[in-house]
Amino acid sequence: MARFLIVEARFYDHLNDMLVAGAGAELKRNGHDYDVMTVPGALEIPGAIATVAESGRYDGFVAIGVVIRGETYHFEIVAGESARGVMALTMDGIAVGNGILTVENEAQAIVRADPAQKDKGGEAAKAAMVLLDIAQQYR
């Protein structure tokens, strides 16, 4: 049994609730425990994971958030930089599943967040578990 931390950028409560539920259900289904940490936004997720990873308290992480395109360039910055940050963590050998949705509108987010539909939270948890398995096998 491994211990995971779901790090969520809670901006859209109803969407995050679905993503966290999907991730948590997938982790539990595979016999793992998890905690949830909330950060202000998607840009803060990689930094929080990097800080907590140093503690050694968790074996893997699931990044959860929703970024919906708005009228400004801010969407591109948040979407790109949060993804880059999560990718950098995985390149450093930290098991992180990326469940940060980057969508055009709320309707797209609902389909992707809902565990009964695309279940991207559950998929992110699966990715984190696979990366942890790889790390344990090759370290």
Q: What pLDDT, on the 0 to 100 scale, is given for residue 127?
A: 98
Which residues are known catalytic residues? 74
Tell me the per-residue pLDDT of 12-58, one tens digit each, with 9 for 90 and over: 999 999 999 999 999 999 999 999 999 999 999 999 999 999 999 99
Distance CA 118, CA 102 (A): 14
**Better pLDDT: 32 or 72:** 32
Distance, CA of 103 to CA of 69 (rounded, Å): 6
Q: Which residues are annotated as a binding site?
A: 11, 42-44, 66-68, 71-72, 98, 112
- Is residue 30 within 8 Å of residue 129, measured between CB atoms? yes
Contacts of 39 (CB under 8 A, 6+ apart): 7, 8, 9, 10, 45, 48
Range of the domain at 114: 3-138
**Residue 71 pLDDT > 90, yes or no?**
no
Q: How confident is the model at residue 111 (pLDDT cuts 50, 70, 90)?
A: very high
pLDDT above 90 covers a percentage of the chain that reads 94
Residue 110 has pLDDT above 90, yes or no: yes
Of the pLDDT bands very low, low, confident and very high (cuts 50, 70, 90), residue 139 is confident
Say what the pTM is.
0.96
Residue 72 has pLDDT above 90, yes or no: no
CATH number at residue 106: 3.40.50.960
Contacts of 137 (CB under 8 A, 6+ apart): none
Domain count, the chain: 1
Residues annotated within a binding site for 5-amino-6-(D-ribitylamino)uracil: 11, 42-44, 66-68, 98
Q: Give the whole-angstrom CA distance, residue 47 versus residue 23.
A: 20
